[in-house]
């Protein structure tokens, strides 16, 4: 059984296979109507159930379109529509859904819930974001970086702002795919030592934004207030020196590119000038969620990697 709860579940070879597959399949259907099924329909007859205990635009729609383009169909459930939200256990939910569908994707708060779902499901379980990690996002991000002409080994990435779930998965990716990541986060919002250790010596945490972007090929940030967190003016104030501005981008490598998983808050973690500027990769990054989800699904079913 192949679950995808973190990038390490696939390992470097699995992630490399996903990236190659996503790039190939994207090219193979360039210009096609979005609803047209891929020529080989590799997941014909398969059903993906998606459960959302938090809101989503990209993850929801990209997974829905991903399974359709692979020849399958989906069921989407929001928190308020599931008995899970009224106290039915995760384990019972895993057993029930395993009898109906071929794979389950879930977005939730506590990472332990995804682990419990996987422990009791007899079909693949995919982590569509938890408070701990967001591995699906990172497959799309790496695809975007490769499309922009970079090789992952030796790449220099800078992370600015909150030491959050997306950073955890990016740290894990750095260790697996051999790129370097320097994170600049304010006191109290730094990644844990365990998260840094995921990068296998390829991650550093520094105290200023300028230090982080020095020599960076790619500059990445994310919202300062993640889903489920209280809006706190003190946190926003602490984050302000880590805002990605044009001045900061000028301190990175010439031509450095900008990534953001979205949704974005212009004027907070990044200025409009940067995120809407010529070096921003946010639109291909968001589109690649679709192509990456397809390769994640195919990996879960043992078709690649």
Is the CB of residue 130 less than 8 Å from the CB of residue 165? yes
Q: CA dist 63 to 25, 84, 305, Å? A: 15, 21, 20
- Which CB sits closer to ligand NVA, 215 or 228? 228
Q: Which does 223 bind (CB under 5 to 8 A by kind): ligand CP, ligand NVA, none?
A: ligand NVA
User: Does the annotation count 222 as an active-site position?
Assistant: yes
114/295 Cα distance (integer angstroms): 20
The answer to whether 127 contacts ligand CP (rule: CB under 6 A) is: no
- Which CB sits closer to ligand NVA, 122 or 229? 229
- Which CB sits closer to ligand CP, 261 or 300? 261
Identify residues 129-158 at the interface with ligand CP (CB under 6 A): 129, 137
Other CB atoms within 10 A of residue 236 CB: 14
Q: Which does 269 bind (CB under 5 to 8 A by kind): ligand NVA, ligand CP, none?
A: none
**Strand pairing class (218-221; 73-78):** unpaired
Question: Looking at beta carbons, which residue is closest to ligand NVA?
Answer: 226
Counted residue by residue, the chain has a size of 305
Q: Which does 165 bind (CB under 5 to 8 A by kind): ligand NVA, ligand CP, none?
A: ligand NVA
User: Does the annotation count 265 as an active-site position?
Assistant: no
289/60 Cα distance (integer angstroms): 10
The answer to whether 50 contacts ligand CP (rule: CB under 6 A) is: no
Q: Which does 98 bind (CB under 5 to 8 A by kind): ligand NVA, ligand CP, none?
A: none
Q: Which does 226 bind (CB under 5 to 8 A by kind): ligand CP, ligand NVA, none?
A: ligand NVA
HSE on the CB side for 158, CA within 13 Å?
Answer: 29
Q: Helix (H, G, I), strand (E, B), or coil: what is residue 208? A: coil
Q: Which residue has the tokens 């002409």?
A: 149
**Helix 11-28 to helix 135-147 angle, to the nearest 10 degrees?**
60
Q: Helix (H, G, I), strand (E, B), or coil: what is residue 190? A: coil
User: Does the annotation count 289 as an active-site position?
Assistant: yes
The answer to whether 261 contacts ligand CP (rule: CB under 6 A) is: yes
Interaction site with ligand CP (CB under 6 A): 56-59, 129, 137, 261-262
Interaction site with ligand NVA (CB under 6 A): 129, 164-166, 222-223, 226-227, 261
Q: Which residues are catalytic, by number?
A: 107, 134, 137, 222, 261, 289
């Amino acid at each position: 059984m192949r679950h995808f709860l973190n990038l390490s579940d696939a390992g470097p070879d699995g992630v490399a296979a996903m990236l190659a597959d996503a790039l190939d399949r994207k090219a193979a259907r360039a210009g096609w109507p979005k609803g047209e099924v891929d020529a080989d329909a590799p997941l014909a007859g398969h059903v993906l159930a998606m459960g959302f205990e938090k809101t989503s635009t990209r993850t929801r729609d990209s997974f829905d379109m991903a399974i359709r383009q692979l020849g399958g169909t989906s069921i989407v459930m929001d928190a308020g529509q599931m008995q899970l939200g009224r106290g039915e256990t995760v384990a019972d939910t895993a057993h029930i859904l395993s009898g109906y569908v071929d794979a389950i994707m879930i977005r939730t708060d506590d990472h332990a819930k995804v682990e419990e779902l996987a422990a009791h499901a007899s079909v693949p379980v995919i982590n569509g974001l938890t408070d701990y990690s967001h591995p699906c996002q990172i497959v799309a991000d790496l695809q975007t970086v490769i499309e922009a002409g970079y090789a992952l080994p030796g790449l220099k990435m800078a992370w600015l702002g909150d030491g959050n779930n997306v950073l955890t998965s990016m740290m894990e990716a750095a260790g697996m795919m051999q790129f370097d990541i320097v994170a600049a986060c304010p006191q109290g919002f730094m990644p844990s030592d365990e998260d840094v250790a995921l990068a296998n010596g390829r991650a550093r945490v520094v105290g200023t934004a300028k230090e982080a972007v020095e020599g960076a090929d790619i500059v990445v940030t994310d919202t300062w207030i993640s889903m489920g967190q209280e809006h706190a003016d003190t946190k926003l104030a602490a984050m302000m020196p880590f805002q990605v501005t044009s001045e900061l981008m000028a301190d990175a490598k010439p031509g450095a590119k900008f990534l953001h998983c979205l949704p974005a808050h212009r004027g907070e973690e990044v200025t409009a000038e940067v995120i809407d500027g010529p070096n921003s990769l946010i639109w291909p990054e968001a589109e690649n969620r679709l192509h990456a989800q397809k390769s994640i699904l195919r990996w879960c079913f043992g078709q690649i990697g």
